[in-house]
Structure formats: structure tokens, C-alpha cells
A and B are shown apart, each in its own frame.
Chain A
Amino acid sequence: MLTQDQAADIVDRIKKLSSADEVEVLFSGGRFALTRFANNTIHQNVEDENHIVSVRSVFGGRTARSTTNKFDDDSLRRVVESSEGLAKVQHPDSDLLPMPDSREAASTGGPLIPTRYFEQTASITPQLRAAGVKKIVEVAKSHKLATAGIYSISESVEGIFNSRGLSDWHTQTLAEVSITMLGADSSGWQKANSPDVSNLDPLHMAEVAAKKTLDSADPGEIPAGKYTVILEPSAALDIVGFMFWDYSGMAILDQRSFLTGRIGNKLFGENITIWDDVAHPLQTGSPFDGEGMRRMRLPLVENGVVKRVVYARATAERMKRSEHKDKAGPIEATGHGFPLPNEMGEMPLNIVFASPQDPKTLAQMIASTERGVLVTRLWYIREVDPYEKIVTGMTRDGTFLVENGRIKQGVRNFRFNESLIHMLSNVEAMSAPLRSCGEESFDMVVPAMKIRDFNFTEVTKF
């Protein structure tokens, strides 16, 4: 993997080639390996290593970016020339700020993060991944099921340097296991990831996925309608993730956010409190943003009231001058900007739901439900209405009817059309939040949720 010293050397070479007023250099990349299995067989098994260097040049309020994965002299010269050539033909942007120095980058008071690089994760070999998959396959075979899934590991770097002397560097590992078990007419699923592979328990995950498959065999059909639902954490994550693009100052300025005109309002139930917290022990990611600003820990929602959105530096300055400034929450750079130039501004990426006062286990939620639906996973979620924040999608891989406090049977999968505002106003119970991952949204620390009047509109064929 590229080291910080090697990156610093590349930056020195780029600075010598640059004629720009200011220059910023981003690094990203690393090594990624993934073993994929289906039908109880490893059918894809890949590994790649790649690093990119991305150069942003600034000339008098004009900026542009060029990227390459080659670090030889000719390639670096070409990427600098390309970046400068693109920048020079821009119109000056009065909103573009000088690049931050280290002092300004630290001014957000962003917290220190725990180490997220674990040698035991980076050193997982193809042979060890195959051995792990073999055990998962053995679980499948013991239940007369077929299994499909992945076992992946990565080690990655993110770095930023600029001509004002700012430099920051982040390394991280991530191990991930995802397992689907398939029966004749049912399926079950589990997924987990962590920087530290020792936090994963693939065998337990395989057994849980297998139990879901067996328990949902021969699914019945119940009509669409409004149900109390219990969303397991991955399902909760995948649906709530669709609102966090809107927790952005730029989204408010663009009037594309469902929070436009609503910051300070009580949009959700009293029991909903959400933080963005890069330093949370269950979170991952780098502690700095696309300009090198340290990520601030901040509350987005407190007891149902939308308190804040996040800001890149330039967005904050624009907001202070805008007609929306009195309905935009505290306005300051929070360290959540994307690399410049971009049209999206910023977003929170380290979502942590606060633990409820009286957390319930999944089993307690089921036991307290007279009639409802337990959902393992949601799928193909898309936004239907951007301001009422209605999203549609499907249940998948383990959907169960709950009656009189017990799981009664598997049921055919539903299509839902549900407003996130409505949904987060109807949360009756939550578990303790935990690190979760799905396929529709980014990883978060979220609870399982019991929600009343969840809107299923159609039933599919399986």
C-alpha cells in the first residue's frame, strides 16, 4: 500500500510541476480482495490493488481537478497540465475560498478517532477466505440449503495535501461477510463488516440466515395494507439512509432537500435522536473531509427536532448570505464537504442513532406485537417523492407474519411506499443501536425499529 511518505514525495514532485496559485493533492486507494460464492461453490475470487492521485489547481477563483493512477513523471506532468488547463477555462467563482491550512482544518474541533487499521484483517489470505467460505457451505449443506455470498477484506488509504501546508492521512482495513441461504421457496440473509475481522462471526451469521430460510419456507400470502413492522437493523438502515443526502447546507440552498423550511421543526417522534459522529467506536471512515477539514461530531436530530445540517466551508459562507439563513440551523463549516469542485456540497456519512431510553431486544419487540410483519432486509429502494420523502422498495430474504407475540410463518414479499417523516414519527420501540450494513445505503449505527402503520401497497409472487 502507498505510504504517507511516498505520497509526500509525490506531492513534492507535483508542486514543482504546478504553476497554479494553489494546488491540492488527494490520494485514495489500496488493496481489495473478495471471495464470492454461490450454489455452495466459490465462483468468483478477485483481488486488485490501485491508488489514484487527484490534483486540484486554482487560478484566481477558478478550479478543476484531474486524476490518474500513474505516478511516473510523465503521468504527473500530464495530470497537473490537465488540471490547470481545465481550471484556466472556467469562469471565476466568487464562492471559491482559499484552501484551508492546518489550523483552519482543525478549527472544527473534530474528534480523534480510534485506530481503524488491523493487521489481522489485512493479512487474511485467499486460503483463509476459502476456509471461511467452506464452513459457511458446510452450514448450508447441513440444512440441505444452498448458499451465496461474499467474504472480502480491504486495506485502504485516504490522504490530502495542499499548498498551504495542510496534510492528513488515514488508513483503514475492513472485513465483510454477507450470506444468503436459499431453500426451495424461501431465503434468509445476514451481513456484517468491521475494520477488525475478529469482530465477525461468519458461522453464527450462517446459522441465523439458515434459520430464517427454514422458518420462512412455504410462505403464505397476506394482503397489502398498513401493518406494524419490525425492521431489523439492516432494513432500518437501508430505508433511513435515503434521507441523509438532504442533511446538507447545499441541499437547502438548492431547495432539493426535504428539510428546506423545516430545520427547527419537530418532524419525527420524540424518541428519535441522530448524530453524525466519525469517532464513534462502531464507525469507520477518515476523520477529515474533501478539503481536509476535520469532521465535527454534531447532532442532526434531537428528540424528533431537526437541529442541524452539515456544511462544507464554501456552503457555510453562502448560507450566511442567503435567504435561507434563518431556517438553516447553526451555520459553520463542519468538515463534511466532498472534494472540490462538486455540485452536491456535503453530507453526513457517520450516522449514529442514539440509544433509546428503554431499549428492547428484537425478541421483546416480537413478543409485544399482536399482529405485524418482521422484515429482515429491504431492497431496491428509490425515492418517489422528494419533499414528503416517500420511498418505495421491497422486502426480501426473510419476511414473517407475527401474531400474538410470536413469529407465525413466512409471508410473500411486499412492496412498500412509505414517507420517512411518517415512519420516524411512528417508531414504538427500538433496540440498542449497532453497526449495520445493507446494500441500499451506507453503513450506520442503527437500532432495530418497531413501527406502526407501515404502508405496504402490493404483494409480489414469492
Chain B
Amino acid sequence: MKQIANWALNIATMRGASYADARIVSQRSRALTTKNGKVGSASDSESVGISVRVIADGAWGFAASEDLSRSGVEATAARAVEIARASAEVKQHDIRLAPEKPVIAEWTTPYAIDPFTTSVEANIALLLKVDSELSAVAGITLAEANLNFNREEQWFLSSEGSDIHQTKYSAGAGYTAYAFAGHEIQKRSYPNSFGGHWQNKGYELIDELKLVENARRIAEEAVALHRAEQCPEGTFDIILDSSQLGLQIHESIGHPIELDRVLGMEANFAGTSFLTLDKLRTLRYGSEMVNVVADARQEHGPGLGTFAYDDEGVPAQCTPIITNGLFTGYLSSRETAHTIGENRSGGTLRAEGWNRLPMIRMTNISLLPGEKPLSLEQLIASTDHGILLQTNRSWSIDDRRYNFQFGCEIGWEIKHGKRIRMVKNPSYSGITTEFWNSLDAICSRDEWTLWGTPNCGKGQPQQVMGTGHGAAPSRFRGIKVGSAYRGM
């Protein structure tokens, strides 16, 4: 593979590229689903190809192909240079890359069990066992479960001398129980909605999730939601469970800190950001107890944003994003680092597969846990009147990341420190900085989970990327609840 990449680099350089990198990626994935007692789908896929990214005449070009023959690779590299020269026809400045020492490295996701060595029969049997537990509860009208495994092996070589071979594994699993009755569809999901829980791990993740053990409770809650009262509308203290808080972090911190958004590069699609450059180290993003990091390092945990090197050869790093409430850092790349006065990339450039351009993506954007011991039950016990919201059902935020609205699958009204009743269709909304400044309690490390979001969309053509979000249940004071159903 290195020889193939070098064919590309040689041609790109010969054609006049001032910088070139080549990524050869071999991807393998397996997706298994069950639905109402039967296998819904069973599929394997593999994809191999090369991309060549170059700077020529001060502008970017990128070409990718499935063809790994010498003539095919050289044509792809030549095409990348030709495209760069076309880009140079419409430029304001030459591209500047922050310096980065070339590295020669090998890295593989730590894992215990290669998921592709596990028995498909056993995988399906597990899903069907979950299904039978869900379907055993009267009132469940649809039960769906999924298992997903991915392996991505990448060779990255650059004209600066980097030679990095990385292999990443990820696994994900989850299920949802639906209950349709009257004029209402209710659902509950475990361990998280929209595909479950994902991490950069092997099959051992699936064993850790206790899928079967939780299925009956989840199904019973889905049915019970039909008997629950509508979540009241008004201003409440709210407690978010850690999975919902993970998505809150993703949408209202993770995306606005992407420096390409801030600089207008995503204005046509994903949008821009309220975090203009003047806000760095001046904006009080959240309350004093809000500490958020962007941490791609292995020691942060097996998040979907964990790696050794990003897709332009920059080592994984931990960047303080919010420090004691103060906004302190962006997600940057070699191209954008200079705009915030940095002389090195933050190491966040990643691509979906071999045929897509690397772009700034969230790594593991995590809210650090509270330092004092605090369990969810203790947090509830210290809440006079509020709503506990669990498991995301809908999410939406404006294109500068100010106004958001989230719906959750289930809510619990809390009075005088106790859960007094289940409520259905809970939602909350707010303005990003006002919301994070209202945070007054974060549970401690033993309630902290590094969640995986496997489906983050960005870019044109759109790319899907996995990101990680560590969170522990937290409380926010005086939040608008229930406006999703206002006027209905």
C-alpha cells in the first residue's frame, strides 16, 4: 500500500504540487438488524480506494478513485493537481499549512474481541433474545434491534515524509420498543436512541451493554407512556440524563467550536457559528463548573473521536474548549490554526472513508464530571421541583447554534426531591450560552459515560462521522419546557 501511495505522491510532486498527501483506506462493516421476531437485514460491505489531496498554485485539489493500479493511481494524482489549478482561478489567498513534523507510526484501536471473528448466528441470537423480551410486553407494537461493527485500516503518506498506518475498530448496538395506541406512538430506546451506544471497541462493548437485562424495563416504559400525563409547559429546573446531555454537548458546543464553520467555510450548508473569533477567551460560555475538552487521545477513553493521528497526520491532542465556564478553544486544522494565532493544528481533520476530503470534525467533546461525589439519585434528591429528561427523541438547532429544541422519550416530574410521576412528550428549548450558564450541578465520574454519535453529518458532499461525548447527568436551572407542543 505504501508503494501505491508513493506513486501518487511522486506524480503530484512532479506535476507541481507544493504539498500532497495520499490516503488509502480499506473499510469493512457488518450490519445486523431484527424486527418483530425476525431478521430485518443482514449485510456485509467492504470498500477500498485511494484519495490524493494536493496544494498547487496555492489552492486545494482532491481526487479519489477505486482504481489502485499504477496507471489509475497516477491519473488520480494528476487529476488532483489539475483540480487544484482550477481552484486557484478563484482564490483570495494562498493556502498556508501550520507546520507539522513528519511521523512514521503504527496504531490500532485497543480491543479485546475482533467483532468480525464473532459468530453471526450468535449475534442474531442475541438480537432475537432482546426482541423476544421487548415483544413479551403487552402493548408493544414494534421491536427493533441492531448490531453494527466497523473496521477501517488507513495508510497515510505525505510529501513531507509522514507514513502512518492506523486501524480503527468500532462497534454499536441498541434497540427500540414502540407502542402505538389510540392516536399516539410512544417509544423507548436502550442504551440510547438512533442506533444505540457506539464506541471504538471490539465486541466486548456489546457484552458490557447488558442489552437483554434492560429490555423488559424499556418495553414496559414505552407502554406506560400512554398512561402518563403530557409534560407540563413552563419554566422548570431540568436534569438531563447523560445520553441526552451528550447530544446537547454535540449540538451546542461541538458544532459551534468547529473553526471552519466559524470562518464561514460551511455557510452554505451546515451554517456558521455564533462563536466569532473575538469570543475566544472572552466569552463566558457557561457557569463556573462547566469544563469541556476536545480530547482525541486514547487516555480519554474509547470514544468514536479517539485516534492516534488525524487524517492529515497530526497527533491526537486534548484541547481545553471551556475552562471554568470561559470559552478557551476551537477545533482547528493545519489550514485554519493560524487564524486563531496558533502555530499548530489541534488535530481534528477526519474524512468519511477513502473518497472524501478530510475536514474539521469533533473528536471526543466531553463535559468533565463533577469533582465532588454526586449520583443521579442524589441530584434528584436535591431538586425541589423539576423535570428529569431521558433519551433523545428529536433535536434541532439554528444554523449559528443559538436556539435549540430537544425532545426526549420520557420525562419524570420531580417534587421535593422525589420522582412523583412519569410524563410523556417532554421537550426543552433555549439559547446556547444562557443554557450552559444555568448549569448548577454535574454528577461525578461514576455516572459519566463516553457516548458515541455515529451519524454526525457535515460538508458538501455530506460526510457522516462518529464523534464521542462524555457526560454525566447534570442540572440546569430555569429552562423553558414544553414549547414543542405549544399551540397544538
| Residues of A participating in the B interface, judged by any CB pair closer than 8 Å | 32, 34-52, 54, 63-70, 78-79, 82-83, 85-87, 89-91, 93, 95, 125-127, 129-131, 133-134, 137, 146, 148-150, 152, 178-180, 182, 187, 189, 226, 254-256, 260, 341-343, 379-388, 390, 392-394, 396-397, 413, 415, 417, 419, 422, 439, 455, 457-462
**Interface range, B side:** 35 or more
Q: Is B117 an interface residue (CB 8 A)?
A: no
Q: Is B437 an interface residue (CB 8 A)?
A: no
Interface string of B426-444 (1 = CB under 8 A from A): 0101010000000000000
Stretch at the interface among B103-111, B372-380, B396-404: B396-404
Q: Nearest Cβ in chain A — how far from B188, in angstroms?
A: 14
Q: Are B265 and A91 in contact (CB under 8 A)?
A: no
Q: Nearest Cβ in chain A — how far from B116, in angstroms?
A: 11
Q: Are A64 and B43 in contact (CB under 8 A)?
A: yes
Provided the pairs A126-B86, A179-B268 are in contact, do residues A64 and B42 lie with their beta carbons within 8 angstroms? yes
List of B residues within 8 angstroms of A69 by Cβ:
46-49, 66
List of A residues within 8 angstroms of B62 by Cβ:
44-47
Q: Are B39 and A461 in contact (CB under 8 A)?
A: no
| B42, B119, B488: the one within 8 Å of A390 (CB) | B488
Q: Are A226 and B487 in contact (CB under 8 A)?
A: yes
Q: Are B46 and A390 in contact (CB under 8 A)?
A: no
Q: Give the complex CA separation of A189 and B267 in angstroms.
A: 10
| A44, A226, A415: the one within 8 Å of B429 (CB) | A415
Q: Are B51 and A48 in contact (CB under 8 A)?
A: yes
Most chain A CB neighbours (cut-off 10 Å) among B40, B51, B269: B269
Q: Give the complex CA separation of A385 and B93 in angstroms.
A: 48
Q: Is B324 an interface residue (CB 8 A)?
A: no
Interface string of B250-286 (1 = CB under 8 A from A): 0000000000000111111101001000000000000
Q: Are A49 and B65 in contact (CB under 8 A)?
A: yes
Q: Give the complex CA separation of A90 and B34 in angstroms.
A: 11
| Interface residues of chain A: helix, strand, loop or mixed (majority) | strand
Q: Give the complex CA separation of A46 and B398 in angstroms.
A: 28
| Residues of B participating in the A interface, judged by any CB pair closer than 8 Å | 33, 35-36, 38-49, 51, 59-67, 79, 82-84, 86-93, 119-121, 124, 141-142, 144, 178, 180, 183-185, 263-269, 271, 274, 355-357, 359, 393-400, 402-403, 405, 407, 425, 427, 429, 431, 460-461, 483-488
List of A residues within 8 angstroms of B180 by Cβ:
255-256, 260, 387
Q: Give the complex CA separation of A396 and B429 in angstroms.
A: 18
Q: Nearest Cβ in chain A — how far from B58, in angstroms?
A: 11
Q: Give the complex CA separation of A342 and B93 in angstroms.
A: 48
Q: Nearest Cβ in chain A — how far from B52, in angstroms?
A: 10
Q: Are A41 and B90 in contact (CB under 8 A)?
A: yes
Provided the pairs A34-B461, A129-B86, A396-B399 are in contact, do residues A43 and B65 lie with their beta carbons within 8 angstroms? no
Q: Are A382 and B395 in contact (CB under 8 A)?
A: yes
List of B residues within 8 angstroms of A148 by Cβ:
264-268
Q: Are A387 and B90 in contact (CB under 8 A)?
A: no
| A65, A82, A146, A459: the one within 8 Å of B264 (CB) | A146
Q: Nearest Cβ in chain A — how far from B43, in angstroms?
A: 4
Q: Are B90 and A130 in contact (CB under 8 A)?
A: yes
**What are 7 A-to-B residue pairs whose CB atoms are below 8 Å?**
A43-B265, A46-B63, A64-B43, A82-B44, A86-B120, A383-B394, A394-B397
